[in-house]
Amino acid sequence: MYPVRIGGERIALREFEERDLDASMAVVGDPDVTVFLSFDTRTREEQAERLAADIARAKTEPRPDYYLAIADRQTDELIGFIRIGLGGHRSGELGYALRKDRWRQGYTYEAAQLILAFAFEELGIHRIQAACGPDNLASQAMLRRLGFDYEGRLRDHVFTDGGWRDSLLYSAVSTETRSPTKPR
Ligand SMILES: CC(C)(COP(=O)(O)OP(=O)(O)OC[C@H]1O[C@@H](n2cnc3c(N)ncnc32)[C@H](O)[C@@H]1OP(=O)(O)O)[C@@H](O)C(=O)NCCC(=O)NCCS
Protein backbone atom coordinates (compact mmCIF):
# COMPACT_ATOMS: atom_id res chain seq x y z
CA MET A 1 0.00 0.00 0.00
CA TYR A 2 1.57 3.33 -1.08
CA PRO A 3 1.40 6.16 -0.25
CA VAL A 4 0.08 5.88 3.29
CA ARG A 5 -1.25 8.83 5.26
CA ILE A 6 -2.97 8.27 8.59
CA GLY A 7 -4.44 11.32 10.24
CA GLY A 8 -4.59 11.65 14.02
CA GLU A 9 -5.64 14.41 16.40
CA ARG A 10 -2.32 16.23 16.72
CA ILE A 11 -0.12 14.25 14.35
CA ALA A 12 -0.25 12.49 11.01
CA LEU A 13 1.72 9.44 9.92
CA ARG A 14 2.97 9.89 6.38
CA GLU A 15 5.61 8.71 3.92
CA PHE A 16 9.10 10.22 4.15
CA GLU A 17 10.03 12.98 1.72
CA GLU A 18 13.40 14.44 0.71
CA ARG A 19 12.57 17.68 2.53
CA ASP A 20 12.57 15.72 5.84
CA LEU A 21 16.38 15.57 5.97
CA ASP A 22 17.00 18.49 8.36
CA ALA A 23 14.10 17.60 10.64
CA SER A 24 15.13 13.94 10.76
CA MET A 25 18.60 14.96 12.00
CA ALA A 26 16.95 16.11 15.25
CA VAL A 27 16.19 12.41 15.81
CA VAL A 28 18.99 10.34 14.25
CA GLY A 29 21.69 12.97 14.82
CA ASP A 30 20.98 13.31 18.54
CA PRO A 31 22.95 10.88 20.74
CA ASP A 32 20.38 11.30 23.55
CA VAL A 33 17.84 9.68 21.20
CA THR A 34 20.03 7.14 19.39
CA VAL A 35 21.50 5.76 22.63
CA PHE A 36 18.21 3.87 22.88
CA LEU A 37 18.14 2.75 19.24
CA SER A 38 19.79 -0.17 17.50
CA PHE A 39 21.96 2.07 15.30
CA ASP A 40 24.61 4.69 16.03
CA THR A 41 24.14 8.46 15.70
CA ARG A 42 24.21 9.46 12.03
CA THR A 43 25.88 12.34 10.22
CA ARG A 44 23.79 14.44 7.84
CA GLU A 45 25.49 12.72 4.91
CA GLU A 46 24.71 9.25 6.25
CA GLN A 47 21.13 10.24 6.93
CA ALA A 48 20.70 11.68 3.42
CA GLU A 49 21.60 8.24 2.02
CA ARG A 50 19.33 6.42 4.48
CA LEU A 51 16.44 8.74 3.80
CA ALA A 52 16.75 8.21 0.04
CA ALA A 53 16.80 4.45 0.63
CA ASP A 54 13.77 4.64 2.96
CA ILE A 55 11.83 6.65 0.34
CA ALA A 56 12.68 4.13 -2.37
CA ARG A 57 11.93 1.11 -0.15
CA ALA A 58 8.43 2.36 0.60
CA LYS A 59 7.60 2.00 -3.08
CA THR A 60 8.69 -1.64 -3.38
CA GLU A 61 6.04 -4.29 -3.65
CA PRO A 62 5.42 -6.15 -1.41
CA ARG A 63 6.48 -3.58 1.18
CA PRO A 64 8.98 -4.95 3.69
CA ASP A 65 7.85 -2.39 6.23
CA TYR A 66 5.71 0.62 6.95
CA TYR A 67 8.34 3.07 8.09
CA LEU A 68 6.55 6.40 8.41
CA ALA A 69 7.23 9.94 9.54
CA ILE A 70 5.41 11.21 12.60
CA ALA A 71 4.49 14.71 11.42
CA ASP A 72 3.06 17.62 13.36
CA ARG A 73 -0.50 17.87 12.08
CA GLN A 74 -0.39 21.69 11.89
CA THR A 75 2.93 22.15 10.11
CA ASP A 76 3.45 18.69 8.53
CA GLU A 77 7.01 18.88 9.89
CA LEU A 78 8.64 15.56 10.81
CA ILE A 79 9.05 15.19 14.58
CA GLY A 80 9.78 11.47 14.72
CA PHE A 81 9.51 8.05 13.11
CA ILE A 82 7.38 5.00 13.63
CA ARG A 83 7.76 1.65 11.95
CA ILE A 84 6.06 -1.67 11.58
CA GLY A 85 8.52 -4.13 10.04
CA LEU A 86 6.73 -7.05 8.40
CA GLY A 87 8.05 -10.43 9.43
CA GLY A 88 6.84 -13.99 8.95
CA HIS A 89 3.22 -14.95 8.58
CA ARG A 90 1.07 -11.95 9.61
CA SER A 91 3.59 -10.73 12.14
CA GLY A 92 5.30 -7.40 12.59
CA GLU A 93 7.78 -5.50 14.72
CA LEU A 94 7.12 -2.05 16.16
CA GLY A 95 9.75 0.67 16.54
CA TYR A 96 9.64 4.42 17.17
CA ALA A 97 11.67 7.50 18.05
CA LEU A 98 10.80 11.13 18.61
CA ARG A 99 12.91 14.30 18.68
CA LYS A 100 13.86 15.12 22.26
CA ASP A 101 12.15 18.50 22.56
CA ARG A 102 8.78 16.79 21.91
CA TRP A 103 9.12 14.01 24.49
CA ARG A 104 6.46 13.45 27.18
CA GLN A 105 3.66 15.16 25.27
CA GLY A 106 1.83 12.05 24.14
CA TYR A 107 2.90 12.22 20.47
CA THR A 108 4.43 8.75 20.23
CA TYR A 109 1.56 7.19 22.11
CA GLU A 110 -0.85 8.69 19.59
CA ALA A 111 1.37 7.56 16.69
CA ALA A 112 1.59 4.03 18.09
CA GLN A 113 -2.16 3.76 18.50
CA LEU A 114 -2.63 4.88 14.89
CA ILE A 115 -0.10 2.45 13.41
CA LEU A 116 -1.30 -0.46 15.57
CA ALA A 117 -4.89 0.06 14.41
CA PHE A 118 -3.63 0.24 10.82
CA ALA A 119 -1.56 -2.95 11.22
CA PHE A 120 -4.23 -5.03 12.94
CA GLU A 121 -7.22 -3.75 10.99
CA GLU A 122 -5.92 -2.81 7.53
CA LEU A 123 -2.92 -5.11 7.12
CA GLY A 124 -4.45 -8.07 8.97
CA ILE A 125 -1.38 -8.50 11.18
CA HIS A 126 -1.90 -10.99 13.99
CA ARG A 127 1.16 -10.52 16.21
CA ILE A 128 3.27 -7.40 16.79
CA GLN A 129 6.42 -7.48 18.86
CA ALA A 130 8.69 -4.76 20.14
CA ALA A 131 12.18 -5.06 21.59
CA CYS A 132 13.79 -2.38 23.72
CA GLY A 133 16.91 -1.98 25.80
CA PRO A 134 16.74 -2.93 29.50
CA ASP A 135 17.62 0.67 30.44
CA ASN A 136 14.91 2.14 28.24
CA LEU A 137 12.30 2.68 30.95
CA ALA A 138 10.37 5.17 28.79
CA SER A 139 9.80 2.68 26.01
CA GLN A 140 8.94 -0.12 28.43
CA ALA A 141 6.32 2.10 30.08
CA MET A 142 5.00 3.06 26.66
CA LEU A 143 4.61 -0.56 25.58
CA ARG A 144 2.81 -1.50 28.79
CA ARG A 145 0.54 1.51 28.37
CA LEU A 146 -0.24 0.34 24.83
CA GLY A 147 -1.33 -3.02 26.26
CA PHE A 148 1.76 -5.04 25.26
CA ASP A 149 2.84 -7.99 27.41
CA TYR A 150 6.43 -8.69 28.47
CA GLU A 151 7.72 -11.97 26.98
CA GLY A 152 11.37 -12.23 28.01
CA ARG A 153 14.96 -11.13 27.57
CA LEU A 154 16.88 -11.52 24.29
CA ARG A 155 20.60 -11.90 25.01
CA ASP A 156 23.09 -9.85 22.93
CA HIS A 157 20.25 -8.88 20.64
CA VAL A 158 21.78 -5.75 19.08
CA PHE A 159 25.29 -4.47 18.45
CA THR A 160 25.35 -0.74 19.09
CA ASP A 161 27.79 1.88 20.37
CA GLY A 162 30.60 -0.65 20.13
CA GLY A 163 29.04 -3.44 22.18
CA TRP A 164 26.33 -6.07 22.43
CA ARG A 165 23.11 -5.17 24.21
CA ASP A 166 20.29 -7.32 25.50
CA SER A 167 16.69 -6.47 24.62
CA LEU A 168 13.42 -6.95 26.44
CA LEU A 169 10.74 -8.41 24.21
CA TYR A 170 7.09 -7.32 24.35
CA SER A 171 4.16 -8.33 22.17
CA ALA A 172 0.52 -7.77 21.39
CA VAL A 173 -1.72 -10.11 19.39
CA SER A 174 -4.89 -9.22 17.58
CA THR A 175 -7.10 -11.68 19.44
CA GLU A 176 -6.25 -10.13 22.80
CA THR A 177 -8.50 -7.52 24.24
CA ARG A 178 -5.76 -5.00 24.63
CA SER A 179 -6.64 -2.29 27.05
CA PRO A 180 -4.50 0.71 26.30
CA THR A 181 -5.26 3.59 28.59
CA LYS A 182 -6.66 6.72 27.04
CA PRO A 183 -4.26 9.45 25.97
CA ARG A 184 -4.59 12.73 27.80
C1 LIG B 1 10.38 6.30 23.88
C2 LIG B 1 9.89 7.60 23.25
C3 LIG B 1 9.61 7.36 21.78
C4 LIG B 1 8.61 8.05 23.99
O5 LIG B 1 8.01 9.06 23.22
P6 LIG B 1 7.08 10.19 23.87
O7 LIG B 1 6.37 10.85 22.75
O8 LIG B 1 7.89 11.04 24.78
O9 LIG B 1 6.07 9.32 24.74
P10 LIG B 1 4.59 9.77 25.15
O11 LIG B 1 4.62 11.19 25.63
O12 LIG B 1 3.66 9.45 24.03
O13 LIG B 1 4.32 8.85 26.39
C14 LIG B 1 3.40 7.76 26.38
C15 LIG B 1 3.64 6.92 27.61
O16 LIG B 1 4.93 6.32 27.56
C17 LIG B 1 5.51 6.32 28.87
N18 LIG B 1 6.69 7.21 28.90
C19 LIG B 1 7.15 8.00 27.89
N20 LIG B 1 8.29 8.61 28.26
C21 LIG B 1 8.55 8.21 29.53
C22 LIG B 1 9.59 8.49 30.46
N23 LIG B 1 10.60 9.32 30.14
N24 LIG B 1 9.55 7.87 31.65
C25 LIG B 1 8.56 7.02 31.98
N26 LIG B 1 7.52 6.72 31.15
C27 LIG B 1 7.53 7.30 29.94
C28 LIG B 1 4.43 6.82 29.80
O29 LIG B 1 3.64 5.72 30.18
C30 LIG B 1 3.67 7.73 28.89
O31 LIG B 1 2.36 7.98 29.32
P32 LIG B 1 2.12 9.22 30.36
O33 LIG B 1 2.87 10.40 29.82
O34 LIG B 1 0.64 9.41 30.34
O35 LIG B 1 2.65 8.75 31.66
C36 LIG B 1 10.94 8.75 23.37
O37 LIG B 1 11.33 8.83 24.71
C38 LIG B 1 12.16 8.51 22.49
O39 LIG B 1 12.19 8.90 21.33
N40 LIG B 1 13.19 7.85 23.07
C41 LIG B 1 14.42 7.56 22.32
C42 LIG B 1 14.18 6.53 21.24
C43 LIG B 1 13.60 5.24 21.81
O44 LIG B 1 13.82 4.88 22.95
N45 LIG B 1 12.88 4.50 20.95
C46 LIG B 1 12.33 3.21 21.32
C47 LIG B 1 13.35 2.16 21.16
S48 LIG B 1 12.74 0.58 21.77
Tens of pLDDT, residue by residue over 159-168, are: 887 889 999 9
Q: How far is the CA of 34 from the centre of ligand 1 (A)?
A: 14
Q: How far is the CA of 62 from the centre of ligand 1 (A)?
A: 31
In whole angstroms, what is the distance from residue 57 CA to residue 64 CA?
Answer: 8
Mean of the pLDDT values across residues 113-122? 96
In this structure, which residue's CA is closest to atom 48 in ligand 1? 132
Question: How far, in Å, are 2, 112, 156 from residue 83 at the CA level?
Answer: 15, 9, 22
Distance 6 CA to ligand 1 centre (A): 21
Mean pLDDT of 92-120: 97
| 67 contacts 58 by C-beta, under 8 angstroms | yes
Residue nearest to atom 17 of ligand 1 (CA): 142
pLDDT exceeds cutoff 60 at 182: no
Domain positions in the chain are 5-126
* The residue count for the chain: 184
* Distances from the Cα of 124 to the Cα of 5, 61, 120, 159, 180, angstroms: 18, 17, 5, 31, 19
Q: Lowest mean pLDDT: which of 88-92, 105-109, 130-134, 140-144?
A: 88-92
CATH superfamily placement of domain 5-126: Gcn5-related N-acetyltransferase (GNAT) (3.40.630.30)
User: What is the percent of the chain where pLDDT is above 90?
Assistant: 85
pLDDT at 176: 59
**152 pLDDT band (50/70/90 cuts)?**
very high
Burial class (CB in 10 A: 0-12, 13-18, 19+), 62: exposed
pLDDT score of 60: 95
pTM: 0.93
How far away, in angstroms, is 138 Cα from ligand 1 center? 4
Task: List pocket residues of ligand 1, CB cut-off 6 Å.
Answer: 33, 36-37, 96-98, 103-109, 132, 136-139, 141-142, 145
> Higher confidence at residue 36 or residue 76?
76
